[in-house]
Amino acid sequence: MKKDLLSFKDWTRSELEALLTLAMQIKAHPHAYRSALDGLSVVALFEKPSLRTRVSFDIGIHKLGGHMVYLDSQSNKLVGREDTKDMGANLACWADAIVARVFAHSTLETLASAAKVPVINALCDRYHPCQALADFLTIRERYADLSKVKLAYLGDGNNVTHSLMLVGVALGCEVIVVSPKGYEVDQEIVALSKQRAAQFGGKLTLSHDPNAAIGAHVLYTDTWISMGDSTPLEQIKDTFAAYAINENLMSRTGADYVMHCQPAHRDLEISGALIDSDKSLLMQQAENRMHGQNAILVSLLAKNFKAQL
Ligand code: CP
Ligand code: NVA
């Protein structure tokens, strides 16, 4: 039976750890995996712009011996031309997997139920699982024991935050989410994350006060306005200013590192100097997008592949 990756919300701690181990193995021994997707084709369908996700999937699939077809829904007007259900069923006639970046999570669910091949979420309104996997791979490379790590996210409670919560607490981390009033994370995902924390050993703390990040090892932020949200920056800038990650917050919290999924807005949610500093993990995160996604592809499409290490 095919397995989709729409979110990590039902992945156990040991399944996530196994995926991280595979990602580290692929990163360390890329040649051993260069035929893992031999003869397989992946369609990547994007309703929104992308730099990192698009390029890391394309190059990553090539490195595994597979082939990617990019479908740009924005310029090709694919959305609305036919039912998503029909699009999914047609794509599955040729492709061995569908990677999709969409506005609504329900579009992914429709694609997944119509397509007989795995569907991988490349970002939707609720989740960004590929990002969270790369992020915890990055943190794992800095801290051997994830159960001793405190990660503080500051800013808009969004798709990236949701995935960090769901994955982080299951890996045993303490995840602290600090958002302005009115920009909190989804309550249903909070409840699920707390349940996962109790089951797998992590902890979730929510706050409106940036001081809640004091003592965190890593500070993380994302854009204050996500793709598809037409709120003018001027309208929210003052509300979010106290949540910006800058040198002052780094020294107040005592954090070792700063993270951002990117695209970043220099001197808004994060200071430009921090991005360029030795406390920045941003490029390591970006590189790890490819290794994490390749682990996802191998585990969904080539589970029985035997790497020649
Ligand atoms: N982090 C991320 O998903 O970047 P892109 O939007 O450029 O793909
Ligand atoms: N929260 C951002 C993430 C971009 C990678 C967005 O949805 O636009």
CA of 285 to the centre of ligand 2 (A): 15
Q: Is 140 helix (H, G, I), strand (E, B) or coil?
A: helix
Scored b (16 or more CB within 10 A) or e, 258-267 reads bbbbbebbee
Q: Is 222 part of the annotated catalytic residue set?
A: yes
Ligand 1, atom 6, lies closest to the CA of 50
pLDDT of residue 77: 73
pLDDT of residue 73: 84
Q: What is the pTM of this model?
A: 0.98
Catalytic residue among 128, 196, 217, 260: 128
Q: Is 128 part of the annotated catalytic residue set?
A: yes
Ligand nearest 50 Cα, by number? 1
| CA–CA separation, 157 and 220 (whole Å) | 12
| CA–CA separation, 57 and 63 (whole Å) | 10
- Residue 95 near residue 86 (C-beta atoms within 8 A): no
CA of 226 to the centre of ligand 1 (A): 11
Does residue 280 have its Cβ closer than 6 Å to ligand 1? no
Per-residue pLDDT of the chain (309 residues; tens, 9 = 90+): 899 999 999 999 999 999 999 999 999 999 999 999 999 999 999 999 999 999 999 999 999 999 999 999 877 777 778 999 999 999 999 999 999 999 999 999 999 999 999 999 999 999 999 999 999 999 999 999 999 999 999 999 999 999 999 999 999 999 999 999 999 999 999 999 999 999 999 999 999 999 999 999 999 999 999 999 999 999 999 999 999 999 999 999 999 999 999 999 999 999 999 999 999 999 999 999 999 999 999 999 999 999 988
Phi, psi angle pair for 147, to nearest 5° = -70, -10
Does residue 262 have its Cβ closer than 6 Å to ligand 1? yes
Catalytic residue among 101, 140, 196, 291: 101
Does residue 204 have its Cβ closer than 6 Å to ligand 1? no
pLDDT of residue 78: 74
| CA–CA separation, 297 and 246 (whole Å) | 36
pLDDT of residue 79: 76
Q: Which domains, from first to last, does the chain contain?
A: 13-128+288-301 (3.40.50.1370), 131-286 (3.40.50.1370)
Q: What is the DSSP string of 175-238?
A: EEEE--TT-PPPHHHHHHHHHHHHHHS-EEEEES-GGGGTT-SEEEE--SS-TT----HHHHHH
Q: Is 260 part of the annotated catalytic residue set?
A: no
Structure token pair of residue 124: 């939707």
Cα pseudo-dihedral 188, 176, 109, 62, rounded to 10: -170
What single-letter DSSP state applies at residue 306? -
